Amino acid sequence: MAKPSLRATPPGVELAAQALTRAGLTQARLAEQVGCSRQPITNFFKGEAISQAIFMQICDRLGLDWQAIAGLANPPTLAPSPPAVAIPQLGLDAQVQTLRQQVYPSIRERCGTMRVLDMSHPVEVNDIYASVNILEQISGRRYRHIEELLHSCDTNDFERIGLGAIVEERMPALEAVKTHKKLIILGKPGAGKTTFLKYLAIQCNEGKFEPDRVPIFITLKDFAEANEAASLLDYIADCYHVPEAVYPALVDSFQQVFAAGKALILLDGLDEVRREDHQRVIKEIRGFSEQFWQNQFIMTCRIAAWDYVFEKFTEVEVADFDESQIEAFAAKWFNQKPVSPGQFIRQLNQHPRIQQLAVSPLLLTLICLAFEESGGFPSSRSELYREGIDALLKKWDAKRGIQRDQVYKNLSHLRKEDLLSYLALITFKGKELFFKKSVAEQYIADYICNLADTDADPEALQIDSEVILQSIEAQHGLLIERAKGIYSFSHLTFHEFFVAREIAVNSLSLEQALQDLASYGTDRRWQEVILLTTEMLRDASRLLLPLKQTIDQLLADSPRLQRFLQEVCDRATAPEFAAFNPAAARAFCFDIDFDIDENRAAALALDKTVNLLVCASFLTRMLEDMSLAEAIAVAQAHDARADREAKIINASSANAVMLIAIQIALDSGGLDNPARQTLKTLWQRLKGHAADDDTVRQVADQAREVAKSRHHIGQDWHFTPQEKTQLKQYYATTLLLVQCLNSDGCMLSPKLRQSLQAALFLPLP
């Protein structure tokens, strides 16, 4: 049997629309309160038949007689329209507040939430917004030399190039808004321009910012694609659904309020307007802002797409997030979630390449999504980088329904990736982290000249390459203009990713390319490329076997260093190392008074339970030269969490060391659950002075013996500076091989993986 249905009469629909406005609701909010989808609500206001139960709930929520609305009782009486003179007789302040009430639900609906990338549901803007900073000088308009850019990036710390690399004077965006009445906010794709504008709209809507202005938020793409004959003023009135039947004078009230300069006009996304609509939209904005010049205007656009001049507007650029903004964003994102903000930030600080991407709000959102899903960062970093590139290259526009102009007919997304990979390898080999515009355009011309139907005329190629460079910057933000005529990849991480992609995907002779790449194993610049290439290969042995050969050759010509490796091997077979992975034990012993790696990263990567020995060794070394109080102070600096433990220590010096060491081990987050439980039990027993317990004594003594005997190498060998350099190179390159082996993306047979691991830190046969 069909369910009974009802439909509203035309007068009933009009009365319901009036009630909806009085209640300050939108149709979407009404659907939420009724507990149904949007479709029945839409059909109700169209006068179409819907379920009787939902029909009655809608009327009940709006305070209406459902029988009257359905025409089953006396026909509804429309509320009398107020006289047209009512609104004009109001004072200006009253008009502003009346209009604020009118637009309030629409602003809440348009600007109150955000949903980007693969979010499963929208989130409140206030729950995700982190304060934005701006640069008063547009980065791409500065005149600077490449050497100056490199110096400002602090190239001594190669891994941090790209992390807020160019140090500039910043100011809070809110301060800029208060300072400049007409503002154009430029920024890279995903820089947070729309989020900032929505935040301003909500703050104004709630009376927390410019409470005496009427907030108006317009997506310029929607305006451009609406009725072409409509002016911006007409579009605003239509957009905010002023019901003439209820307040006929409110339509004119928009013009009166605008004329009085009492509006906050927020115009979002000029770069999203189709090329054929540009001139009309520009003309309309210019005319509107000149006619109603007393209002406050803020407009956003992607920086590379900005080709216009608005004489009365001040142009600023959205700055990349700094570390404090990243922490603030994470604190909001992970609030009341299983993963804590502290966990996220600690792990982010341990992954400098991922940290580079976090300066972009869009990519930071992607990183938070990935971390929240898995509780950590993926071992295969190339997958995360691939997601970031896809977000900028395809998803960010596609998920918002934006179609960009195709500036070059043969340049698909895949071709763009190939072009970027080609450019990346050439510049990386030439140590060109920054390169001139003319150089980039020449490389682009060299690439596109081989595509079908390309005009081979040099002048035509020059024009095409210039347009392509600008479009890649404007549409995707993967290349950016750092200074006037000087470009770079937006992040060093992406530069390295595209280098690895070019080698793994496009090499004419892959075997030779991988041999050449393995020879760069000792060069810090190439180590991330080697790791990423490993993850892109179907058979990683083609790179890792040559890499192991590169490692072996580092010490092959020195009998003295080969004897050192033999001593390391012998020392690692001592009884206190019996419980650990042999390769991890050798990596732990490979040390010269902590000159190589005081954190013993290679040992920990091979066997995480070595962490207890590392911490005990570190702290025991401190006790050799200082008092317990001094050692605890240093330990606190090493790990602030040790502070609360140090305050309650009343045991012997040895137990005190172990307590702090165990706490550091627990806080590291790198142990599996059985190991964590063992350490927690040990910590409780030591804290309770149960040092006579056999298990506690055995584990504690084992760690202390390893720590006490750690000076077996450096004091006896007296290595020359050159030998120390060789040993450091050997260790760093071996650590790289270990990281490649441990990557989730490393495809390698179990037998070969075990064989390579077993051969680590061994002398040549």
Q: What are the pLDDT digits (tens) for 218-231?
A: 999 889 888 776 78
- Tell me how far apart the alpha carbons of residues 478 and 498 are, in angstroms, rounded to a whole number: 11
Ranking 159-163, 374-378, 383-387, 416-420 by mean pLDDT, the lowest is 159-163
Average confidence score pLDDT of the chain: 78
**Residue 14: band (very low, low, confident or very high) from pLDDT cuts 50, 70, 90:** confident
- Tell me how far apart the alpha carbons of residues 20 and 27 are, in angstroms, rounded to a whole number: 8
Question: pLDDT digits over 587-640, tens only?
Answer: 888 875 546 776 678 887 888 766 555 555 544 444 444 444 444 444 444 444
Under 8 Å CB-to-CB from 62, ≥6 apart: which residues?
A: 16, 19, 20, 23, 30
Q: In Å, how far are 42, 112, 206 from 27, measured between CA atoms?
A: 7, 15, 20
Amino acid 652 reads S
Positive/negative CA dihedral, 195, 201, 202, 207 = positive
Q: Is the pLDDT of residue 400 over 60?
A: no
Q: Is 136 within 8 Å of 169 (Cβ atoms)?
A: yes
Question: pLDDT digits over 641-672, tens only?
Answer: 333 333 333 334 445 555 655 655 555 555 55
Q: Is the pLDDT of residue 555 over 70?
A: yes
Q: What is the pLDDT of residue 663?
A: 59
**Residue 686: band (very low, low, confident or very high) from pLDDT cuts 50, 70, 90:** low
**Residue 245: band (very low, low, confident or very high) from pLDDT cuts 50, 70, 90:** very low
Q: In Å, how far are 106, 178, 211 from 202, measured between CA atoms?
A: 11, 16, 11
The dotted CATH code for 5-69 is 1.10.260.40
Residue with more model confidence, 401 or 463: 463
Q: How many residues does the chain have?
A: 765
Question: pLDDT digits over 420-468, tens only?
Answer: 999 999 999 999 889 999 999 999 988 888 777 777 777 777 888 888 8
Which helix (H) or strand (E) element contains residue 418?
A: helix 413-429
Q: Is 665 within 8 Å of 671 (Cβ atoms)?
A: yes
Residue with more model confidence, 191 or 695: 191
Residue 596, φ and ψ in degrees, nearest 5: -90, -55
Token digits for 330? 């994470």
**Residue 114: band (very low, low, confident or very high) from pLDDT cuts 50, 70, 90:** confident
**Which parts of 199-262 are beta strand (E)?**
214-219
Q: What is the pLDDT of residue 155?
A: 42
Q: In Å, how far are 106, 119, 230, 287, 483 from 221, measured between CA atoms?
A: 18, 23, 14, 18, 29
**Three-class SS state of 89:** coil
Burial of residue 128, with CB atoms counted within 10 A of its CB: 0-12 exposed, 13-18 middle, 19 or more buried: buried
Question: pLDDT digits over 695-732, tens only?
Answer: 444 444 444 444 444 444 445 678 888 998 999 999 99
DSSP conformation letters of 573-640:
TSGGGTTS-HHHHHHHH--STTSS-TT-HHHHHH-GGGHHHHHHHHHHHHHHHS-HHHHHHHHHHH-T
Ranking 258-267, 410-419, 665-674 by mean pLDDT, the lowest is 665-674
Q: Per-domain residue ranges for the chain?
A: 5-69, 93-318, 323-398, 413-541, 552-758
- Tell me how far apart the alpha carbons of residues 243 and 272 are, in angstroms, rounded to a whole number: 30
Residue with more model confidence, 535 or 401: 535
Average pLDDT of the segment spanning 482-509? 92
Q: What is the pLDDT of residue 263?
A: 95
Nearest alpha-carbon partner for 546 in 503, 577, 501, 576:
503
Q: How much is the CA Rg of the chain, to the nearest whole Å?
A: 33
Token digits for 613? 């020995």
Q: What is the largest CA-CA distance in the chain?
A: 107
Q: What is the pLDDT of residue 701?
A: 47
- Tell me how far apart the alpha carbons of residues 270 and 310 are, in angstroms, rounded to a whole number: 13
Q: Is the pLDDT of residue 1 over 70?
A: no
State the Cα torsion 162-165-168-173 to the nearest 10°: 40
**Residue 392: band (very low, low, confident or very high) from pLDDT cuts 50, 70, 90:** confident
> Which CATH homologous superfamily contains domain 93-318?
P-loop containing nucleotide triphosphate hydrolases (3.40.50.300)
Which residue pairs, CB below 8 angstroms and at least 24 apart, start in 79-86?
A: 79/15, 79/18, 79/246, 81/245, 81/246, 81/248, 82/247, 82/248, 82/249, 84/248, 84/249, 85/249, 86/249
Nearest alpha-carbon partner for 268 in 160, 344, 187, 148:
187
Strand pairing of 296-302 and 182-187?
parallel
Question: pLDDT digits over 318-374, tens only?
Answer: 999 988 999 999 999 888 888 888 889 988 888 888 888 889 888 898 888 888 877
Q: Is the pLDDT of residue 536 over 90?
A: yes
Under 8 Å CB-to-CB from 262, ≥6 apart: which residues?
A: 92, 96, 212, 213, 214, 295
Q: What is the pLDDT of residue 160?
A: 44
Q: Is the pLDDT of residue 383 over 80?
A: yes
Q: What is the pLDDT of residue 515?
A: 96
DSSP conformation letters of 475-527:
HH-SEEEEETTEEEES-HHHHHHHHHHHHHHH-SSHHHHHHHHHTTTT-HHHH
Residue with more model confidence, 567 or 641: 567
Q: Is 199 within 8 Å of 129 (Cβ atoms)?
A: yes
- Tell me how far apart the alpha carbons of residues 95 and 72 are, in angstroms, rounded to a whole number: 39
Which helix (H) or strand (E) element contains residue 702?
A: helix 694-708
- Give the highest mean pLDDT range of 400-414, 510-524, 707-721: 510-524
| DSSP annotation of 744 | T
Q: What is the pLDDT of residue 659?
A: 60
Question: Does the predicted model carry a pTM greater than 0.75?
Answer: no
- Tell me how far apart the alpha carbons of residues 188 and 360 are, in angstroms, rounded to a whole number: 9
Question: pLDDT digits over 101-111, tens only?
Answer: 888 888 988 89
Q: Is the pLDDT of residue 283 over 50?
A: yes
Residue 403 has a CB neighbour count (10 Å cut-off) of 10
Q: Is 489 within 8 Å of 495 (Cβ atoms)?
A: yes
Q: Is the pLDDT of residue 248 over 50?
A: no
